[in-house]
Amino acid sequence: MDSNEWWGLVERARDAVGDRADDRDAPDDPLPGVLADVLAALEPERIAAFAVTAVGVTDSACRWPLWNAAYLIEGGCGDDGFMDFRDGLALLGRETYSQAVADPDSLADVPVVVRMSRGERGWIGYKSLSAPVTEAYRRVRGETDSLDAAVEAALRERIRPAAPQGESWDAEDDEANRRRLPRLAALFLD
């Protein structure tokens, strides 16, 4: 599955959810369930291909500046949290995702991020992409072992980033964050 088809499936789910597509809030976020519905209409091999492509898409966001943005937004962010953040960021759609990868400070314009800065509900990394994929595959095949095997086999062939790319800085250094992520710092540090 190429990235255009992958993003098309994400956008189909976002369109079906409508105004709630950016409600990245637990526990009533409708998007993961609707994405599972969209994926369940595919053949099992296509669902597995979606999972493999998801890894490639989210690997493209494995960058230190974005990790530091996630750290500011979520009040801390470890390895697993950053994986979930990138998955949740993808669920915000291709345009938001691409802008954030190119300029993590652009996340200051994303409504859920603004809500989070005010202490309101919101969490970008609430659900990983694996949850709707696994749910869809289980509906179609009645099991998920073959999904895991297919994804693992496909990923063995890929070169994946060993570490985040880009310039790194101490995520707890407020002055560095103000210089590198000024708009996010204004939301979360001031």
Phi, psi of 63 (to 5 degrees): -135, 140
Instruction: Convert the pLDDT of each residue in 52-74 to its tens digit.
Output: 999 999 999 999 999 999 999 99
Residue 121 tokens read as: 């509900």
Residue whose C-alpha is closest to residue 142's, from 40, 52, 31: 40
Residues 70-91, mean pLDDT to the nearest whole number? 93
Instruction: Convert the pLDDT of each residue in 95-138 to its tens digit.
Output: 999 999 999 999 999 999 999 999 987 888 766 789 999 999 99
Domain that includes residue 144, residue range = 3-188
Question: What is the pLDDT at residue 68?
Answer: 98
What global pTM score does this model have? 0.92
Instruction: Convert the pLDDT of each residue in 6-35 to its tens digit.
Output: 999 999 999 999 988 877 776 678 899 999
Total tally of structural domains belonging to the chain: 1
Question: What is the pLDDT at residue 142?
Answer: 94
Question: What is the pLDDT at residue 125?
Answer: 79
Question: What is the pLDDT at residue 161?
Answer: 83
Residues 137-160, mean pLDDT to the nearest whole number? 92
R_g of the chain, CA atoms, integer Å? 17
